[in-house]
Amino acid sequence: MKAAVYARVSTKHQAEKEISIQEQIRLGKEKASELGATEIDVFTDEGYSGADPTRPSLQEILLRVRQGEYQLVVCYDVDRWARDLGDQLVFADQVESSGARLDFVVAQRGEGPEGNLFFQIKGAFAEYERAKIRQRSILGKYAKAKRGQMVTCSRPPYGYRYNGDAMNPALVIHDKEAEIVRQIYTWTLEEDIGSVIIARRLEMMGIPSPGGNKHWQASFITRMLKNEVYCGVFYNLRYRVVHRDHRSYEEMRPREEWVAIQVPPIVSRACWEKAVQRLSERLTRKSMVPVRRHLLQGIFYCGVCGHPMSSTIHNGAAYYRCYGKLKHKTECNMPYFMAEDGKRKKGLDGRVWDGIAEYLRDPAVLESEYKRIAAESRSAIAVDEMRRNAETLERTISRLRRQKDELLDLRLEGLLTANELKRRMQTLSNRLLVAMRQLNDVRGRISVLETSDTLVPSFSQFLHSLSARLNNVTFEDKREILRMLKIRAYAYPDMSIEIRVPVPIACKDSEQQTLELGVRLASSN
């Protein structure tokens, strides 16, 4: 029997006060072994609230249980499983409806109605305790704010530190960071430069960002210039936590509910007001510049790491670039793609639209393309090749999942830092998503091509109706046509582009199915 052990703590303080991840894992493994498990995998969610139903490791367990990989799931206690009673029951039902068993180290779960009743009662108490803790915390914050004391946040504003007094916390100026804050205000007022240029200037000077790395976010600079704390006013109770759809969100309270307290200023009030006015003036000038929109925004993806291709402006020209390579430092080596037409060559927006318009002007071309692919794919050799591809992708997915488990083991043994774990897990997750998408494509192609006849007649009629709109189309018309056809585009390092068109197929012995036809556009270079 193969078992999954699940452990969770929401904060470091909770781990020290109650029971650590390592102890939950140890006791969970012992429980699983007692119940007859011969192979045990460990899943942990560290830093996630029990009220969050989207915890990644928990969702991974539920997915793999549905796939029949585990016959037993063990958790330390009901409140580690979920804080919300509804979530507890839903997750338990997902495990047990797949034929697996759910058990706990502390809460013995019996069989029959009595066992389910005990489980529900304990879950209700966990939810009640969570609500009680939250209410006490809210009342304590209100009382401190009304007394003029500071209600601390997780991280003090840049340029400040907390004084270390838990009973009477206060902000004190951090001299080194305060000098950087004053320099930012000076650049804004005396040189009239924007947040992007300031961020790049700080990076070139080698000044570490608030997160400790070399990259400064322009949005952080803007928020810093608007933050009234730098002229000596800190607001308690600016935000509140709201719960919607089983998730928690932070939203800003009405301004009349804020409670102001005085803190040491880094810049004068007049300096702060001038900086805010300068930001407003720059925003007004920016709003007068026409917005450059791009055709493939939202439907263009990196074919290697699966991240979206975002648009950017460089030296006055518009380009698409891999967001994963930019933000998550993925190793996909994806080049930039020119979005708009240049003097010497056509931009990507124009090339992709021309490729799509070719099919829309003559829908018979799309149907003949499908028939050609179907005829080639129905041969025994082609079907065998697709099945071998599917088996290869299945092995790749299993290998990537094992690597994720190995990374978690390294983290638990203290051989990986949290940041390194996050970076590597993000890379593996992206590869896993791409492999799973490819596997679904191959499986769907095998299923459809073995039983399909031709395109659904209504779809052909739909294409004919679109072809009549191709004359004098506006940008909005093109975007609407792409949305209706549910088209996606993928970029590859050789500068080629694949347009994926989902088409409905009329099958002989089954209901209508959908097959994605991939049309490859060669490199423009």
Model pLDDT for residues 228-282, shown as the tens digit of each residue: 999 999 888 777 777 665 566 677 878 887 888 889 999 999 999 999 999 888 8
Average pLDDT over the chain, rounded to an integer: 78
pLDDT computed for residue 442 by the predictor: 76
Mean pLDDT (whole number) for 109-137: 59
Mean pLDDT (whole number) for 181-192: 92
Answer whether 123's CB lies under 8 Å from 85's CB: yes
Mean pLDDT (whole number) for 164-185: 89
pLDDT at 185 over 90: yes
Rounded-to-integer distance, Cα 74 and Cα 103, Å: 5
Give the chain's count of helices (H) and strands (E).
Answer: 17, 18
Partner residues linked to 499 by β-bridges = 489, 519
Model confidence pLDDT, tens digit, residues 147-156: 777 776 668 8
Answer whether 311's CB lies under 8 Å from 469's CB: no
Rounded-to-integer distance, Cα 471 and Cα 77, Å: 65
pLDDT band at 289; cut points 50, 70, 90: low
Tokens of 516: 């994605």
The amino acid occupying position 469 is R
Q: DSSP H helical segments within 160-312, as ranges?
A: 175-186, 195-204, 218-226, 269-287
**Domains and their CATH numbers in the chain:** 2-133 (3.40.50.1390), 160-287 (3.90.1750.20), 349-521 (no CATH)
pLDDT at 517 over 70: no
Rounded-to-integer distance, Cα 100 and Cα 173, Å: 56
Answer whether 180's CB lies under 8 Å from 188's CB: no
Closest listed residue to residue 215, CA positions, set 233, 232, 201, 230: 201
Rounded-to-integer distance, Cα 282 and Cα 229, Å: 22
pLDDT computed for residue 525 by the predictor: 47
DSSP per-residue codes, 336-369? -EE-S--SSS--HHHHHHHHHHHHHH-HHHHHHH
Phi then psi for 302, rounded to 5 degrees? -75, 125
pLDDT at 11 over 90: no
pLDDT band at 222; cut points 50, 70, 90: very high
pLDDT at 507 over 60: no
Lowest mean pLDDT across 10-14, 251-255, 491-495: 10-14
pLDDT at 220 over 70: yes
Closest listed residue to residue 11, CA positions, set 3, 21, 23: 21
pLDDT computed for residue 319 by the predictor: 86
Q: What is the DSSP letter of 308?
A: B
**How many residues belong to the chain?**
525
Mean pLDDT (whole number) for 450-461: 56
Give the dihedral sign, CA 365/368/372/374: positive
pLDDT band at 174; cut points 50, 70, 90: very high
Answer whether 110's CB lies under 8 Å from 144's CB: no
Model confidence pLDDT, tens digit, residues 105-121: 886 665 555 555 555 66
* End-to-end CA gap in the chain: 56
Three-state DSSP class for residue 491: strand
In 78-210, beta strands by DSSP E: 101-104, 160-162, 171-173
Tokens of 37: 């498990």
Q: Which residue has the higher pLDDT, 442 or 7?
A: 7
Give Cβ neighbours of residue 415 (< 8 Å, ≥ 6 apart): none
Rounded-to-integer distance, Cα 203 and Cα 213, Å: 9
Question: With 0-12 CB in 10 A as exposed, 13-18 as middle and 19+ as buried, what is 140?
Answer: exposed
pTM above 0.75? Answer: no
pLDDT computed for residue 481 by the predictor: 80
Region for residue 315 given its phi and psi (left: phi exceeds 0; alpha: psi -120 to 50; beta: otherwise): left
Give Cβ neighbours of residue 425 (< 8 Å, ≥ 6 apart): 404, 407
Mean pLDDT (whole number) for 192-218: 89
pLDDT band at 484; cut points 50, 70, 90: confident
Q: Which residue has the higher pLDDT, 286 or 525?
A: 286
Report percent pLDDT > 90 for the chain: 18
pLDDT computed for residue 269 by the predictor: 93
Model confidence pLDDT, tens digit, residues 50-92: 777 778 888 889 888 988 899 999 998 888 888 776 677 778 8
pLDDT band at 508; cut points 50, 70, 90: low
Tokens of 387: 């099945």
Rounded-to-integer distance, Cα 30 and Cα 461, Å: 63
DSSP per-residue codes, 184-202? HHHIIIII---HHHHHHHH
Model confidence pLDDT, tens digit, residues 317-352: 888 888 877 666 666 778 888 888 766 777 888 888
pLDDT band at 374; cut points 50, 70, 90: low
Rounded-to-integer distance, Cα 15 and Cα 2, Å: 27
Rounded-to-integer distance, Cα 522 and Cα 495, Å: 7
Tokens of 505: 């197929």
DSSP per-residue codes, 360-397? HH-HHHHHHHHHHHHHHHTSHHHHHHHHHHHHHHHHHH
Model confidence pLDDT, tens digit, residues 290-308: 666 788 888 888 888 778 8
Answer whether 306's CB lies under 8 Å from 324's CB: yes
Rounded-to-integer distance, Cα 441 and Cα 390, Å: 9
- Cα 96–chain centre separation: 29
pLDDT computed for residue 232 by the predictor: 92
